[in-house]
Structure 1
C-alpha cells in the first residue's frame, strides 16, 4: 500500500477531495510526494508544510508557500528556502544568523541580498564553515575582505568565487600582499606536521583526501591556487606560471582556460600527459594551426577532443571520422555547418561523416530523406528520430535495418501507432525499443501490452495513459513495487479505484 499511495500522490487525475484525504493520513514521506504536485491549493500546501519540514522546503521553492505561510521558528529550513529565492523577510535573516544550528547559518550564508549587518555577523561567525560559505557567494567587496581572513578554508572559498575582484584572485594565487593564513581545517584538528591517511579508518573524519599541514597549510594553499586557476575571473597573467607545474592538475586547468595565450597553448600541446593535451584540444581559444597539430596526436582521447572543438576545420574532422569511436552525438562543428557544408557532408564517402550530419534535427527535407535511405545502418540509426520523416520511410528503415534502428525509429515523434505495434512484436524482442515505446505518446494498448513483458519496460508501460483502465487496476497488485506505484500514478486509473485505495490506505 505504501507504493500505491505514493503513486496516487503523483497521479495528475487525482481529484482534489482525494488529495485532501491523502494529506489527512500522510506521513513525512507521503507528504513529500504530495508536495511535488502542481495543482495544490494554498490550504493544501500549508497542511503539507505542517507535516514535514522537507515538504515545506520543496513547497517554498515551488512557489506554493509565501512568507505569510512560514514561521521561521517552527520551519527554519522553509524560511531559508524563501530567503534563498529572495522571497523571505529581512528579520528572518537576522534571527537565523544567531541560530545555534550551524547548518542553518551555513545555508543562510549562501542566500542572496542579505542585509549588511547580517553579512557582517556571518563574516565573524565562530564556525569556519559558515564564513567559507559566505565567501563562496559574496559580493566583490565582501570577497575582498574575506580574502584576508586568517583561516585558509575561507580564502579557498574566495578563490572559487567568480565575483571576487581579479586583483584579489591574483593575490590568492601567489600570496603576494596577503598575510599568511594562521589556520586550516587540518591544524584545527591535528597537531602539525600531519598528513591525512587516504585510507583513513575513522568514521567521523571529514578531512579531504590529500589534506596535509606542516604549519604552512600546504594542501589548502594548493587547493586555493587550483580554485583560482579554474576561476575565469582570475587574470591570465596570474596563472601562466602553472604551465610548468610538476602536477598535471593545474596544467589541465590552465589548458582549458579560454584566455590562454597562444605561446602558452603551444607549450601545453607538447605536454607529456594526454589529459592536458585533451583539455587543450577542446579549448575554443586555440587557433587552427594548433588544432591541426593536435589532430595528429598519438592519443585517441586527444584526437576525440579535437573532433568536439567548435572550430575544427571540416577537412580535419572528416579525416578523424573513420579512425575514432565518436558515436552519433551532434558535434559542435557539424551543428554550425553552413548550408553548403551540409550539402557537402551529405554526400561524403565516409559513412561516419554522414552519421555525424544525420544527428542534426534541422536538415533540409531532401537531405534528411536521403540519409534515411542510406545503405549504412549507423547513418540510418542517427537520423531515425528526426521529425518529419514519413510513415512509409520509417517503416522502410525498420524493414531494411531491423533491430539496429528499431529503438531510434520508435523514438521518432511521428512514428505511427501501427509501426510501434510492429516493433513491439519483433522476435527476438528489441528490449531498448520496448522501453522507448512504453514512453511514446502514440503507443497503443496492444504495443503497451507487449512492453509489459519486459522487466524494465513494465513500470513505464504501467504509467502510460493509453493502457486500458482494467489492466491498470490489475497492475496495482503486481509483485514489483515499481509497477504498482506506476499504475497508481496512471491518469487512466478509474476514480472508484482511486477512492477505494485511499480508503484502504487511510484505514477507513
Structure 2
C-alpha cells in the first residue's frame, strides 16, 4: 500500500488536476479514498470506476454513477452496485440471471426490485445458494412461495426476510400447515444421521459447528425458528409459546422482541442464562415491576442492560449508576428527561445522579455552571466537555482535580488555544489529553508539537491543519504509516509537494 498516495487521495486541498492524475494510477486502496472525496465529479467517478470496479458501490450510493456510465459486460461489479441502488437497467438483470457464474447470480439475487421474470428464473436456480439469497431479499409474494421450497435452507432465509407475510412467518415458526422440507445443507453433504463437531478437521467443510440432521433437518429447523423469532414481522401470538423453550438461543431471540405479554417477559426473566436476562433488561417494553425485579439481579450485564433501557425509572437508574460502570455515556433515559427531571437530578445529593445528567450537552446555563463547580470529580468529568463553559471554569476544574479531568477538559469545544497549550504541558502528563488536543480545532502549532511526542496522538496531530507546513513535510518520512498517511492528507501540505509526489508516483508507475 502506498500510504503517501492514500493520504493525498483523501486530502481535501488536492487540486482537481492532481485528482485526475491520481485516478490514472489508483489501486484499490487509493481508489477507496478518492471515491469518498466531497469534490469528486461525475466524470472523475466514471474514470475511477473504469479503473477500479470495487468502488462502484460507494460511488453509486453517492449518486455519482449512472447507467450511462457503465458497460455491463466489462464492469459487472458496477452493474450490481447500480442495481442495488435501484438505478440499474432491467436488461442488466436479465443478462446476469443467465450468467454461468453462480457468484454473479447470487449477487443479482440480493438486488431489490428485480423484474418478475428475473425473480422467477432465480427462484428455480440449480445452485441453492442463489435461491437462498433471493429468499432473503425478495418480495412478499415470492417469499410466500419460497417458504414451501423443498430445501430447508431456503425456508430459513425466508424466515429472516421482513417482507415475508406474517402468517407465513408464523407457519415457519411452528411448522403447522407446511409440507416438510426434503433437504438441508447437512444431508446435501453428509450421510445421515450426522452431527458436525465443533472443531472439524476437513479443510473445505462449510457446515457450521453443531449442524446436524437425522432426516428431520433439525439444526436448520432450529435456525429457521430463531430467524422467525428475530423477525419483527412475525406475529406476537405465534412467538409467545417459546418463552419457556429449552433452547437458550430461541429464548435469547425472544428477549429482544417488543410487544409481548407481561407473562412472557416474566418467564424469560427466569432464564438461568445472564445474556438472556441482560437482553431482556434493555427491552423498552418490559413493565415497571419487571424492571425493579431485574434491578436486583446479581448479574453485572443485566444491570448494565437495565441502565440502557430508555424506560427505566430515574430512581432505579441512579441506584444502578452507583455500582454499574456506564462510562462517559449519555444514557437513553437521561437523554429524554424533562426539564423538571433534569433540575431534580442536578440538585440530587447523590453524585451518581449528578454525573448522569452532566452528560447532557443541552443543559440550561445555570445548571451547567452549577455542575461545573461540583466537588465530585466524576461529575466534573461528565460536565467538562459541555459547550459554553468559560475558560475560568475549565481551569478551575483542572486546578481541583488535575489528571482526573484533564482529558475531558481538553475535549471541550470551547477550550482556548492557551488552555490547550497548558494542558499538554501539565505534569504529570495525561496521554488521553494529548489525543484530545491533537484533534481539537483550536490546537496551536505549539500544542501540536507536544502531541507529536506521544505515540498515539502523533498520527492524529500529523493531520491537523494548524501544523506548520515544514513539519507536515518532515512527517511524510515517518516510520509510522499512520503518521505518513495523515501528513499526506493534511491540507497544510504545500501544493508544490503534493504535485511532486503525484508526479513521482505517476512516473514510477509508467
C-alpha displacement at 1:250, in angstroms? Answer: 1.3
C-alpha displacement at 1:233, in angstroms? Answer: 1.1
1:44-83 CA-to-partner distances (Å, cap 9, x unmatched) read 2222222222133433333222100101111111011001
Matched residue, 2:56? 56
Matched residue, 1:494? 494
C-alpha displacement at 1:300, in angstroms? Answer: 2.9
Are the structure 2 counterparts of residues 328 and 471 from structure 1 closer, same or farther at C-alpha, using a change threshold of 3 Å? Answer: closer
CA distance in 1, matches of 2:65, 2:324: 52
Matched residue, 1:41? 41
The yes-or-no answer on 1:407 pairing with 2:412 is: no
Matched residue, 1:222? 222
The answer to whether the 8 Å contact 2:259/2:285 transfers is yes
The TM-score, its normalising length taken from structure 2, stands at 0.96
Are the structure 2 counterparts of residues 504 and 88 from structure 1 closer, same or farther at C-alpha, using a change threshold of 3 Å? Answer: same
Are the structure 2 counterparts of residues 11 and 373 from structure 1 closer, same or farther at C-alpha, using a change threshold of 3 Å? Answer: same
Are the structure 2 counterparts of residues 29 and 295 from structure 1 closer, same or farther at C-alpha, using a change threshold of 3 Å? Answer: closer
Matched residue, 1:80? 80
1:457-488 CA-to-partner distances (Å, cap 9, x unmatched) read 11111111110111111111112222112111
Matched residue, 1:457? 457
Secondary structure at the residue paired with 1:126?
coil
Q: Which shows bigger deviation, 225-234 or 266-275? A: 266-275
CA distance in 1, matches of 2:293, 2:60: 53
C-alpha displacement at 1:106, in angstroms? Answer: 1.5
The answer to whether the 8 Å contact 2:31/2:52 transfers is yes
Task: Give aligned pairs, total.
Answer: 508
Secondary structure at the residue paired with 2:442?
coil
The answer to whether the 8 Å contact 1:348/1:354 transfers is yes
C-alpha displacement at 1:275, in angstroms? Answer: 2.4
C-alpha displacement at 1:28, in angstroms? Answer: 4.1
The yes-or-no answer on 1:279 pairing with 2:285 is: no
C-alpha displacement at 1:152, in angstroms? Answer: 0.6
Secondary structure at the residue paired with 1:398?
helix
The answer to whether the 8 Å contact 1:282/1:305 transfers is yes
The yes-or-no answer on 1:392 pairing with 2:364 is: no
C-alpha displacement at 1:310, in angstroms? Answer: 1.9
CA distance in 1, matches of 2:360, 2:192: 58
1:62-121 CA-to-partner distances (Å, cap 9, x unmatched) read 322210010111111101100100111110011011122222212211211111101111
The yes-or-no answer on 1:326 pairing with 2:326 is: yes
The answer to whether the 8 Å contact 1:304/1:324 transfers is yes
CA distance in 2, matches of 1:70, 1:363: 52
Matched residue, 1:66? 66
CA distance in 2, matches of 1:409, 1:17: 42
C-alpha displacement at 1:41, in angstroms? Answer: 2.8
CA distance in 1, matches of 2:324, 2:16: 56
Matched residue, 2:98? 98
Matched residue, 2:20? 20
Structure 1, unmatched stretches of 5+, are none
CA distance in 2, matches of 1:257, 1:58: 33
C-alpha displacement at 1:439, in angstroms? Answer: 1.0
Are the structure 2 counterparts of residues 319 and 4 from structure 1 closer, same or farther at C-alpha, using a change threshold of 3 Å? Answer: closer
Matched residue, 1:151? 151
1:247-290 CA-to-partner distances (Å, cap 9, x unmatched) read 22212222222121112222223332222222222222222122
CA distance in 2, matches of 1:276, 1:55: 40
Q: Which shows bigger deviation, 308-317 or 211-220? A: 308-317
The answer to whether the 8 Å contact 1:50/1:56 transfers is no
Secondary structure at the residue paired with 2:14?
coil
Matched residue, 1:173? 173
CA distance in 2, matches of 1:316, 1:33: 47
Secondary structure at the residue paired with 1:112?
coil
CA distance in 2, matches of 1:313, 1:40: 49
Matched residue, 1:467? 467
The answer to whether the 8 Å contact 2:244/2:267 transfers is no
Are the structure 2 counterparts of residues 269 and 481 from structure 1 closer, same or farther at C-alpha, using a change threshold of 3 Å? Answer: closer
1:292-312 CA-to-partner distances (Å, cap 9, x unmatched) read 222222323223322222222
Are the structure 2 counterparts of residues 256 and 5 from structure 1 closer, same or farther at C-alpha, using a change threshold of 3 Å? Answer: closer
Structure 2, unmatched stretches of 5+, are none
Secondary structure at the residue paired with 1:33?
helix
Secondary structure at the residue paired with 2:405?
helix
Residues 202-241 of structure 1 aligned to structure 2 (within 5 Å):
202-241=202-241
Runs of 4+ in 1 over 6 A off after TM superposition: none
Matched residue, 2:183? 183
CA distance in 1, matches of 2:84, 2:48: 20
1:171-226 CA-to-partner distances (Å, cap 9, x unmatched) read 10111111111111111111111111211122322212211111111100000011
CA distance in 2, matches of 1:276, 1:56: 41
The answer to whether the 8 Å contact 1:32/1:52 transfers is no
CA distance in 1, matches of 2:328, 2:47: 49
Are the structure 2 counterparts of residues 413 and 117 from structure 1 closer, same or farther at C-alpha, using a change threshold of 3 Å? Answer: same
The TM-score, its normalising length taken from structure 1, stands at 0.96
Matched residue, 2:428? 428
Q: Which shows bigger deviation, 443-452 or 98-107? A: 98-107
Matched residue, 1:293? 293
Are the structure 2 counterparts of residues 405 and 170 from structure 1 closer, same or farther at C-alpha, using a change threshold of 3 Å? Answer: same
Are the structure 2 counterparts of residues 59 and 319 from structure 1 closer, same or farther at C-alpha, using a change threshold of 3 Å? Answer: closer
Are the structure 2 counterparts of residues 277 and 43 from structure 1 closer, same or farther at C-alpha, using a change threshold of 3 Å? Answer: closer
Matched residue, 2:437? 437
